[in-house]
Structure 1
């Protein structure tokens, strides 16, 4: 039996970008637990600017016979990260509200937790050994984690991300949002808005159009948001820079 979203995900478009020595391939997913699946390869690049995100994920790095796996947490601001040379990477970005019950989202804030006992064939997560997933088997892998209750999801958060208005108190909504994501609802909205703005500017939209479409107050407001969450200015995004950015896509 195929995992939820497996067949549909194969029909979704895959995007490939090359930025100053970092080649990235990524695609969306039909799984309600997965926002994006990606893989990349580094060549002649030592650093990358990682953009802010309210989402958790899994990341794998393979280099010269060494295998590293980690659960990645939400990042409140853009930050510079080191990249090992001539390495290949694979990752799964979870949808907003998807979490690992055995790991507190607050514990993962602005950090990653390395997964123990990683070999070329498997790694240890939540009491069990798991075979390495890949770009094509991500949905199958995550569905197995869901069945074993290692990955879960708060549907309230997913509905909020789509613009729904829950019939719950603001305090209850905020509490559940913090529990599953480690960040506030307001912070998550700001991060995603900045990400969307960055994509639009990179693709040629004018700052005035981005401000009007996404509800920024004015150009200084857009500038501050981009600097905090993306680590780039409007001009940087429109003209390109000499340093690669982490995965940019519209959520």
Structure 2
């Protein structure tokens, strides 16, 4: 019998961590946890996941590094021949904010590579197995910025906008094989990425008058990863307190 796994990129902290723990708790998936640099946070998240009675394997790599991602995924597959990835959550992303006219080439490239190349590097190899097993869930964590644009985030908006377009196109390619592809677009969510935001001022623009919690995003992802969402694909679902609907 195959051991069913959910793979989450950028999952040592924040939204990624909340998603990994939720999928372990609610859907009882074993977790394949990707992270890039924070060893202590990854180990802490691993412990929380294992406390839910499932296995948690860690794969450390920069998602934008094609060669490295191929190596770690192949090693994991060879060491876990009985495992099958049913759910992939592309969550890894970074910001390098600044006005476009002053933006350094490196800041443009790093942000796009993390989101877009990261999406390619993980989704393509995992998707091939999903198509063979005729079942899978690909869930891409995008952003309000990718839908409406955000001043000072031209690179991040472009990266997330690209993933939104890829979500819609890929859903059309793989639907006949019972693989769904959807995106979740959070607004202001309490996390490391929004730690320096002026929450008191910004929440005035949110109809629900607050920032969201990572666990609330995880609830939505958990639904999309479940069999309850079998007839939903190619969608971008906002979770932003009504800020942009």
Shared fold, TM over 0.5: no
Scaled by the length of structure 2, the TM-score of the pair is 0.27
Scaled by the length of structure 1, the TM-score of the pair is 0.26
Structure 1 or 2: larger strand share?
A: 1
